[in-house]
Amino acid sequence: MPLSEHEQKLLEQLEKQLHEDDPKFANSMGSDPGRSWSTRHVVIGVLGALAGIFLLLVGVTLQNIFVGVLGFIVMGGGVYFATMRSSSSAAKGTKPGTGKAGKQRSSFMSSLEERWDERRRGEP
């Protein structure tokens, strides 16, 4: 069931406020709009993973454990590199966590508390 426009706007506003209030938590959740997939990382990572698979198969064929383990490590590193996200804020030179002051956070929390109280009282 798709969200209505009003619900989408509220969700976007909540995400934006979460990133301003607690950027460390928001980044750990992985929904940071400032972070995006890098095509370069994906291509290099996929090539690394394919090279790792090739080394793994060569190691199995030659019955050489060292080459097989090395191939597995290269393959894992390629997958990790491919799934890394680049931060556009780092490229622009801005520091994460330099958002608004604590005053806005308290007003955000107080507005949420007010909404909660209104719902509990049955007011729209």
**DSSP labels, 30-97:** T--TTEEE-HHHHHHHHHHHHHHHHHHHHHHHHT-HHHHHHHHHHHHHHHHHHH-EEEHHHHHTPPTT
Place 89 in a pLDDT band, splitting at 50, 70 and 90: very low
Stronger pLDDT, 10 or 51, i.e. the higher one:
51
Stronger pLDDT, 15 or 3, i.e. the higher one:
15
Mean pLDDT of 80-105: 57
Percent of the chain exceeding pLDDT 90 equals: 30
Stronger pLDDT, 97 or 66, i.e. the higher one:
66
Stronger pLDDT, 13 or 52, i.e. the higher one:
52
Residue 5 scores a pLDDT above 50: yes
